[in-house]
Amino acid sequence: MSWIANFVRPKLQKLVGGSKEVPDNLWYKCPDCGQMIFHRDLAKNLKVCQHCDHHMRLGANERLEMLFDDGVFEKVEVEAPITDPLKFRDVKRYTERLKESKAKTKSNDAIMVAHGKVSGAQTVMAAFDFAFMGGSMGLAVGDGVIKAARLAVKQHAPLVVLTSSGGARMQEGIHSLMQLARTTIAVEEVREAGLPYIVILCDPTTGGVSASLAMLGDIHISEPGAVIGFAGQRVIEQTIRETLPEGFQRAEYLLEHGMIDMVVPRKNLQAELAKVIDLLMVTSKATKPMTVTTKSTAIVEAEILPPVTVTNAEIKSDADSKKDGIESRDESKK
Ligand SMILES: [Zn+2]
């Protein structure tokens, strides 16, 4: 029997062209209504269920392709400044988890930074990838946001961040929590330059990301049904010993309670984003960009935001060249 199983069968299978496996990705089951959807229909419908309008999760690359004109954009590489700073290990080593996620998503970490045009307007975007360790925010993600923010200032372009994250990355401990402060300061740099910062809250945006950069936008846009919150629904229910209302922490609920500005179906997202950028860039042109960087804040920033390739000096020299006469006269007084 073993001779047949080990020798004859593999030879025969080789002769007839291997095992005839039916690809299991031709049909996709909607996680919400359970209907089967043909994969081509799903792709055509931007991964939205045509039966129940459920918006499925997208990878960072898919998101960027969907929002930039003709899906064309230039990627900015983001490398982790230190990998595995705590030499963390649970059931698996953190380095192993990183390797697996990198292979799965073909990305260096849970964020993708890119720049390109949105309806003709130069835009910088940073998209979280939930498939990479739950989109958790560690050092590399923090760096990605800072890189994107500084690029936006350099290009005098709006910054759009697409969040999809479970929160801080526990494998990086305190380093991960520091990213809440770092990304907040990065967003502040964009604001100080008088540029719009738009957040698109994708399903799910929770934990440390919702407690920092995700809730600091000038405009918050979300997709139907997206889960947005800090702690999970079950944790809150167990803590306050109460049943939470229907649709709690969903995009529509947040819109009703004034936490976000718009809930936009995926097919209209690019058009709506272009409209918002157009509107905000007009106002940012009307009100002059405020590039006030005193010496002391520049030093503090350098201490808090060290490992990025776009240096403070570069930005400062860039900003200096743009400054008009009044501001340079102010400088000479100092
Ligand atoms: Zn469905």
Confidence of residue 4 (pLDDT cuts 50, 70, 90): confident
Q: Are residues 180 and 299 in the same domain?
A: yes
Q: Are residues 112 and 207 in the same domain?
A: yes
In a domain, 291, yes or no: yes
Position 333 scores a pLDDT of 43
Q: Are residues 124 and 202 in the same domain?
A: yes
Q: Which residue has the higher pLDDT, 273 or 13?
A: 273
Residue 330 confidence (pLDDT) above 80? no
Position 332 scores a pLDDT of 44
Domain range enclosing 42? 26-56
Q: What is the average per-residue pLDDT within 20-24? A: 54
In a domain, 212, yes or no: yes
Q: Are residues 201 and 270 in the same domain?
A: yes
Number of structural domains, the chain?
A: 2
Q: Which residue has the higher pLDDT, 4 or 265?
A: 265
**Cα 26 to ligand 1 centre (Å):** 16
**Cα 246 to ligand 1 centre (Å):** 19
Position 106 scores a pLDDT of 93
In a domain, 78, yes or no: yes
Q: Are residues 176 and 305 in the same domain?
A: yes
Alpha carbons 70 and 269: distance in angstroms, whole number: 14
**Cα 55 to ligand 1 centre (Å):** 9
**Cα 37 to ligand 1 centre (Å):** 8
Position 14 scores a pLDDT of 73
In a domain, 238, yes or no: no
**Cα 217 to ligand 1 centre (Å):** 31
Q: Are residues 37 and 164 in the same domain?
A: no
**Cα 211 to ligand 1 centre (Å):** 30
**Cα 57 to ligand 1 centre (Å):** 13
**Cα 47 to ligand 1 centre (Å):** 10
Q: Which residue has the higher pLDDT, 231 or 332?
A: 231
**Cα 46 to ligand 1 centre (Å):** 13
Q: Are residues 172 and 286 in the same domain?
A: yes
**Cα 202 to ligand 1 centre (Å):** 18
Confidence of residue 317 (pLDDT cuts 50, 70, 90): low
**Cα 36 to ligand 1 centre (Å):** 8
Percent of the chain predicted with pLDDT > 90: 74
Listed range (54-68, 77-91, 162-176, 299-313) with the worst mean pLDDT: 299-313
**Cα 178 to ligand 1 centre (Å):** 39
Position 329 scores a pLDDT of 43
Q: Are the CB atoms for 122 and 283 separated by under 8 Å?
A: no
Confidence of residue 23 (pLDDT cuts 50, 70, 90): low
**Cα 40 to ligand 1 centre (Å):** 15
CATH code where residue 91 lies: 3.90.226.10
Q: Are residues 100 and 45 in the same domain?
A: no
Q: Are residues 44 and 187 in the same domain?
A: no
In a domain, 199, yes or no: yes
Listed range (18-27, 182-191, 267-276, 299-308) with the worst mean pLDDT: 299-308
Q: What is the average per-residue pLDDT within 238-253? A: 94
Q: Are residues 43 and 97 in the same domain?
A: no
Percent of the chain predicted with pLDDT > 70: 81
**Cα 52 to ligand 1 centre (Å):** 4
Residue 300 confidence (pLDDT) above 50? no
**Cα 54 to ligand 1 centre (Å):** 5
Confidence of residue 295 (pLDDT cuts 50, 70, 90): very low
**Cα 56 to ligand 1 centre (Å):** 9
**Cα 44 to ligand 1 centre (Å):** 15
pTM above 0.75, yes or no: yes
Domain boundary residue, one of 34, 56, 78: 56
Domain boundary residue, one of 35, 56, 77: 56
Q: Which residue has the higher pLDDT, 329 or 103?
A: 103
Q: What is the average per-residue pLDDT within 300-309? A: 52
In a domain, 49, yes or no: yes
Position 9 scores a pLDDT of 74
In a domain, 164, yes or no: yes
Q: What is the average per-residue pLDDT within 303-331? A: 49
Ion ligand 1, residue ranges at CB < 5 A: 30, 32-33, 49, 51-52, 54
Confidence of residue 327 (pLDDT cuts 50, 70, 90): very low
**Cα 33 to ligand 1 centre (Å):** 4
Q: Are residues 200 and 118 in the same domain?
A: yes
In a domain, 285, yes or no: yes
Query: pLDDT by residue (tens digit) across 191-242?
Result: 999 999 999 999 999 999 999 999 999 999 999 999 999 999 999 999 999 9
**Cα 289 to ligand 1 centre (Å):** 46
Average of per-residue pLDDT values in the chain: 86
**Cα 10 to ligand 1 centre (Å):** 41
Residue 168 confidence (pLDDT) above 90? yes
Query: pLDDT by residue (tens digit) across 280-289?
Result: 998 776 655 5
Q: Are residues 40 and 146 in the same domain?
A: no
